């Protein structure tokens, strides 16, 4: 069985308070994008391991045991021992550690794949519970629709925002942003206009009010990211921002942008023609 885990962006990202459990309460709008990895799982009979995992494409850092696809399998296997041995192939295309949720998407799609392939009968609510055990960003990929998110990002409310008439330009400079460093410069503020309210306004009004709180601290450490954001506006973006804690910047355009020779050669650029999705 083959599935195609997709990326997301954050339309605004505010930190509203520090929680007693050490996490932070967030206010954001998740917007899925048609930018995919490829994930395949095949049942096998002859194998010394419950799950065999191989990856191609972009190099995945860290040990296999920490890969969310493997964690997702083991999480469900614990509750559903009848799940057979499988061989998994992940072809990685979405940049990692870039705020696009690629790893979280892989883990969530693994849960969905196993649920479908082996008829586990898990509904959306239960899949979201399992996804949250994998990480705060994973539940959005169970719904996989534009959602207003609060809490750690797991409290999801579907909203009717539709950007299908726009182009998205993603610029990933390949920097790994430490989440801990990103949070160091954050001052939580609960007195905000929510991202849900702002994104209900015309997109032309977002630029000065739809904010990613992490840009302040991350741009101080990596000023080149701020320069990329400015270039996106110079290209004609109606809205541009960093997604998540970075390091990917995105611009939303009414017309297809002409970006060749604008950015340095060491950045990865992905143009998403949302009109055709």
Active-site residue, 137 included? yes
56 CB neighbour count, 10 Å cutoff: 12
How far apart are the two ends of the chain, measured CA to CA in Å? Answer: 22
- pLDDT tens sequence for the chain (277 residues): 999 999 999 999 999 998 888 788 999 999 999 999 999 999 998 878 899 999 999 999 888 888 999 999 999 999 999 999 999 999 999 998 899 999 999 999 999 999 999 999 999 999 999 999 999 899 999 999 999 999 989 999 999 999 999 999 999 998 888 777 788 778 899 888 999 999 999 999 999 999 999 999 899 989 999 999 999 999 999 999 999 998 999 999 999 999 988 888 889 999 998 654 4
Instruction: Please state, in angstroms and rounded to a whole number, the distance separating the CA atoms of residues 140 and 145.
Output: 7
Contact 204, 237 (CB under 8 A): no
DSSP string, 253-265: ESS----TTTS-T
Segments making up each domain of the chain, as ranges: 2-158, 167-276
Helices 223-234 + 214-221 axis angle, to 10: 110
Q: Does domain 2-158 have CATH number 3.30.230.10?
A: yes
SS3 205: helix
CATH class of 167-276: alpha beta
Question: What pTM did the predictor assign?
Answer: 0.94
Active-site residue, selected from the candidate residues 27, 37, 106, 137: 137
């Amino acid at each position: 069985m083959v599935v195609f885990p997709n990326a997301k962006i954050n339309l605004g990202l505010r930190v509203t308070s520090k929680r007693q459990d050490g996490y932070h309460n967030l206010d954001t709008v998740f917007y899925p994008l048609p930018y995919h990895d490829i994930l395949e799982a095949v049942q096998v009979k002859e194998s010394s391991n419950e799950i065999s995992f191989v990856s191609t494409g972009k190099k995945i850092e860290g040990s296999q045991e920490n890969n969310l696809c493997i964690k997702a399998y083991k999480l469900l296997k614990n509750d559903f021992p009848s799940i057979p041995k499988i061989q998994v192939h992940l072809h990685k295309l979405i940049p990692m550690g870039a705020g696009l949720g690629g790893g979280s998407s892989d883990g969530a799609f693994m849960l969905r794949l196993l649920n479908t392939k082996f008829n586990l009968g898990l509904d959306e609510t239960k899949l979201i519970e399992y996804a949250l055990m994998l990480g705060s960003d994973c539940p959005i990929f169970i719904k996989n629709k534009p959602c207003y998110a609060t809490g750690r990002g797991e409290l999801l409310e579907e909203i009717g925002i539709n950007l299908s008439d726009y182009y998205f330009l993603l610029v990933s400079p390949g920097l790994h942003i430490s989440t801990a460093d990103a949070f160091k410069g954050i001052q939580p503020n609960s007195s905000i206009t929510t991202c849900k309210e702002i994104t209900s306004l015309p997109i032309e009004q977002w630029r000065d009010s739809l904010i990613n709180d992490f840009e302040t601290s991350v741009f101080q450490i990596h000023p080149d990211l701020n320069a990329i954001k400015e270039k996106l506006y110079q290209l004609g973006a109606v809205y541009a921002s960093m997604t998540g804690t970075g390091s990917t910047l995105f611009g939303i355009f009414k017309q297809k942008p002409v970006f060749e020779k604008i950015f340095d050669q060491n950045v990865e650029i992905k143009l998403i023609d949302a009109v055709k999705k």
